[in-house]
Structure 1
Amino acid sequence: MSWTNFLILIFIIYILYYALILFFDLFISPKATTGDIAEDELFFSQTFAPELITPVEEPEASTVSDEADARGLKAGLSSGTISSSGGVGLKQLFSLAKNNLIEHTRAIPY
């Protein structure tokens, strides 16, 4: 099969696909009634009565964090001291790689 035959086959499939879509839209799909219904309106066959939802206001209870904020203390959890695993800068990383001082423990995904 040459490229010309392949492209002609793809073009024919393309034309048939869109012809089937147009045929379905024009002849098979249900027709909309042409009464006083606007085209931009949506109608649903199911009917549900709207339900009014009113928020229930509960009295605010004072929490521990509110009391801490009131006393001026910083709210939040402390994770302790931060320790590093020996991070290096970019220039230092390249110099370590140049001297073959970097140990690869697993494959690097690209």
Structure 2
Amino acid sequence: MVPKDAQVMVNVWAIGRDPNVWENPSQFEPEMFLGKEIDVKGRDYELTPFGTRRRICPGLPLAVKIVSLMLASLLYSFEWKLPNGIFPEDLDMDETFGITLHKTNPLHAIPVKKRTIS
């Protein structure tokens, strides 16, 4: 029972890491979404990065359209290598809570030298 006028908060972080919903929920595996019909627009409650219904983020359409441009820009502008002797499975993916969720031990991106487009 939820009392009248109670404020209810949804723990989106916990939903996104629920082993009853996701296989290997603590692993970074973006390919797990390939071939699935999960919608980020608030219709599927397993994944609600933008909220849902009346409280959905008004920036959702812009975010969906610009994410590929931002990803391409990051891939083009930085050299993406792991430090000497580190393998992907050895990366520390622990998170730290704050105003936002961030990595406990941050990764470093090294800007590439100016490229010329031919």
Which TM class, normalised by the smaller chain length? under 0.3
TM-score relative to the length of structure 1? 0.19
- Which of the two has greater helix per residue? 1
Which is bigger in relative contact order (C-alpha 8 A, separation at least 6)?
A: 2
